[in-house]
Structure 1
Amino acid sequence: MATAYLIRKFYRGLRVMYFGMARRYSHAVTTFKFHLNGVKFNKDFVGYGIPILDVNMEGQFSIGKKFWFNSGKYHAMGGRQQQCYFVVAKGAELSIGDYVGCTSVAFICHDKIKIGNHVKIGINTVIYDTDFHSLYAEARNDIPERLDGLRTKPVIIKDGAFIGGHTTILKGVTIGKNSIVGAGSVVFQSIPDEQIWAGNPAVYVRDTYKMELETCSR
């Protein structure tokens, strides 16, 4: 038993060393990738794992202070983890505010995605501001496929919002200040400030202040 305990302790020590080194390596490689993609960022970000970036030469991607992210299967192990994807098309604008945290997310920006300050975005969440394909069958089924009728609309996530893991946020959505989106939701309509929404499709659950009152009364 003593030998098994020592082996486990040694193994845990190796893990601590590995993740300490991984953090420094991730920061160096991610900084290089940010520069290659023309990202405006602060050097105080914390990254675990390497994100995937594809920023068009005519697109814009900016990141505020104290950004942190987990990217890849060995970081923030919550199931379905992947690398973070930050994709910005020609003429599009992706902006992330101060003190934002996210895990294994995909932000696909063809128009505009704006994330405010102090926003938390759970594992495997995806944000799409585009339909990707035309809504007209004749254009969509043509060879080569035409983009007639392809629609894009900005996505805005206001300060203090909390997005639960495995959520899908679709084009044209605004999520209000300090609002909460339950895990696994599909959001295709805007959410007012200080509300909780959940489900597929996401629907109103209650106001956040009611949750605070219930917690205080216990």
Structure 2
Amino acid sequence: MTNMLNVAPNEMQIFYEKERIRTDAALMREYCKSDIKEAYQRKKEVRHELQREARKAQYDDIVVAGNEIIIRKRNSWIDIPERRAANFKFRGLFPLISSDGDGGISALELEIMDAARYVYLIDSKAGRGGYLLRKIMAVGGQILVDAVKDQENFLRKFWVAILPLRTDAVMVPTHTGWVSWGNSAFRFVEKGATLWESVMKAAK
């Protein structure tokens, strides 16, 4: 206290000026820290909003190019390279009709490891992703995406994409021997031929 009383007025003024500057500097540092935190938080919120909008803008196209099945992931902001979607190729989709005139079943022909595989499908179920996944996996088909729900979603889109590619109906005999084949014609069906009953069982 005695030392403070002995300080010259101009020195006191300098002392208080230094204290004011130091205090202002400390306040400015705190302000800057707060400002940086707020700026970071705003940037984080903007980034999350952009990510949400990007997900909304993103969708998949399923394209059958030749025999290849391709996923074209679309985004209204950027172009994303296309990629193979499955370990199989598409070779055809054929509505089936029995020699007695029954229908409601289709044959999906796939190529897996250079070999033809036939997937028999009940038409009323064929648009269901889970049903298609089970049937295609049963003949060795694989969908090249991870989540099961994404595989099912892909197959629903795949079915929509190939429906317009269906050919004329293919007749399947109901029994061996002489079979009525339409237009008053008959055809002899050998033992071991694929029959309508086995097709119906395979489609379940």
Please say whether Structure 1 and Structure 2 have the same fold, judged by a TM-score greater than 0.5: no
- Structure with the higher fraction of residues in helix conformation: 2
Q: TM-score, normalised by structure 2?
A: 0.25
Tell me which structure has the larger Cα radius of gyration: 2
Q: TM-score, normalised by structure 1?
A: 0.24
